[in-house]
Amino acid sequence: MPDRKFYEAPIDDYLPQNGNRGYRVSRYELDLQYKVASNRLAGRAAITAVVTEPRPRFALDLSQALSVTKVNVNGAKAAKFAHQRGKLTIAPAQRVPAGGVLQVSVHYAGTPKPIRGPWGNVGWEELTAGALVASQPNGAASWFPCDDHPSSKASYRIAVSTDSPFFVLANGTAVRKQAKAGQTTWVYEQNEPMSSYLATVQIGRYVRHRMDSPSDGPGAVPMSAVLPQRLRSRFDYDFGRQPAMLSIFTELFGPYPFADYTVVITEDELEIPIEAQGISIFGSNHCDGRRGAERLVAHELAHQWFGNSVTLQRWRDIWLHEGFACYAEWLWSERAGGPTAEQLARAARHNLSREPQSIVLADPGPAQMFDDRVYKRGALTLHTLRIELGDAKFFELLRTWTTAHRYGSVTTADFTDLAGHFTALPLTPLWDQWLYQRALPELPPLRRG
């Protein structure tokens, strides 16, 4: 007889098949072997979790493109498992009590491919010579078994062995590199909690280039690029102002939340850049020698604060990522001598007024959560709040937000409640108009003095 408690309401209505109940992951240790020529991946995932509710079975998200050969639980002999419809269901030999440790080891292999969804293909993607991982929102299961929901954060160790000519980058700090018999193993340690969709592996014929830090003193953030050698001169110009961006964003948003920051430029062209924790991935087309993608450089860097450190608890709150990163583009323009945020906001509001008014920002629906109107309307909401609070209080709010929720999970209500502490005036009309109504509000006049 099926266990009724296993079949429950989805954790997130936007991705009802993703995420799992009964445990909380604290650690992933991934040991991967990848053959570039055949796009063949073999792996062992060691997952450490704490049980929150005793139950006879636990589930992990894992693509059907990967075949599971063995599962062990808490050091016991092979556990019973089933792998169907993107769920790896595991039955421990002995029931684990609430508060008990759940240690799962999964051996698997296959030809990884992206997961198809309403937002296109996401996850592990084969390149002309190498691979990339871009998992937002639900592609992590394309390459490792996981609790694939953004509110589930854990530390990671990612080890990848592949052919020696190829460079491998993953999240966190490189702790070991060892070459043997034509293969090189690269090991990275990601200590800060990370959502599964932000975990990444980048493989290509790359070289690493260290960038100058905005300062050499205490707290300086190491910055680097991983890219094809042929793009180095273009990169130096196109991304040359990135250290200044980091300095300005640190001033406006608070301390950079991770140990370092790396930009990847792939040999292939990419439709859009992609954020990962501590890493941003751009296509060769974004390195044009004309700074044609500089607003996107600012956007992806801002995601390290808004999205990667402070992460939404449910996908309906995507404006907390994309609206903030879009507004960071305008802030960079303002500080770099381009159009001001005020000018860009007025232009964006005019352009939005010509679009269908079918978006509710605080709940746009899964089909529209990556719609450009969410990005722009989110940025306009922040600009309206900035006018209401004034610059001093607005940026104090942003710094408080990134500090109070560093490495945490948040909702829209968390932000609106916090903002209320920075003014004696009621903000409910602002939130009602911008977050919960479809009609596009007018921007308030800019206050002087």
pLDDT in tens, 278-317: 999 999 999 999 999 999 999 999 999 999 999 999 999 9
Domain range annotation of the chain: 4-200, 207-304, 312-435
- Is the domain defined by 4-200 classed in CATH 2.60.40.1730? yes
User: In this predicted model, what pLDDT tens digit does every residue of 147-201 receive, in sequence order?
Assistant: 999 999 999 999 999 999 999 999 999 999 999 999 999 999 999 999 999 999 9
- Regions of the chain short of the pLDDT cut 70: 1-7, 213-218, 448-449
Averaged pLDDT score across all residues of the chain:
95
CATH architecture of 207-304: 2-Layer Sandwich (3.30)
**Dist CA 16 CA 11 (whole Å):** 7
Predicted local confidence at residue 214, as pLDDT: 61
CATH number of 312-435: 1.10.390.10
User: What pLDDT does 9 receive?
Assistant: 85
pLDDT tens, 90-124? 999 999 999 999 999 999 999 999 999 889 999 99
What's the pLDDT at 7? Answer: 54
